[in-house]
Amino acid sequence: MGVLQEAQGAYTDAAKSYTEAETVWKAQEGPEGLGVARASNSLGVVEHLQGHEDAAEARYRAALAIYVAKEPDGDELPKVRNNLGNAMAAAGRLEEAAAWLRSAIERRPDYAEAWLNLSAVLKQQDRLEEGVECCRQAIRLAPAMGEAFSNLGALLAEGGEWEAA
């Protein structure tokens, strides 16, 4: 239910649904269960979408601790690192954001969304050439990702490469 509510922009309702799920998971698995980590990550996303970066960071870090302990080779760990990078970028903590995004990519080099998010951070740091390469990597990995093409064009244009943009 929370995913549907989140997609509809009903963030307060989504947060309630994720909180209910977290409560159920805690009762079933204990406070360090993987379900709790999933719910915490989802709550972090809702907080981030509302601009509550401190709350999002706390939720992501809670999820991260569980995944590192219970499922360090799982697919969820790079997603949480990506999300944490996004929250830090939104809070203006660009060096930390880049480090978290790079750690997501290091764990899962085929994660196009993390490459795209890293390109946005690099753009904010005026590291346009690196950002262009990250966008190109995202496009190679996910050629249907329209946002990657848009971001690539913006990076090229900002770097004065009008014909390439």
Average pLDDT over residues 121-126: 96
pLDDT at 160: 84
Mean pLDDT score, 114-137: 96
Checking if the pLDDT of 162 tops 80, the result is no
The mean pLDDT value for 68-76 works out to: 95
CA-based R_g, the chain, Å? 17
Q: And the tokens for 54?
A: 């401190």
pLDDT tier, 161 (very low <50, low <70, confident <90, very high otherwise):
confident
Task: Compute the distance between CA of residue 33 and CA of residue 147 in angstroms, rounded to an integer.
Answer: 34
In tens, the pLDDT along 1-52 reads: 999 999 999 999 999 999 999 999 999 999 999 999 999 999 999 999 999 9
Check: CB of residue 150 under 8 Å from CB of residue 120. Answer: no
- Contact yes or no for 142/112 (Cβ under 8 A): yes
Confidence label for 82 from pLDDT (cuts 50, 70 and 90) = very high
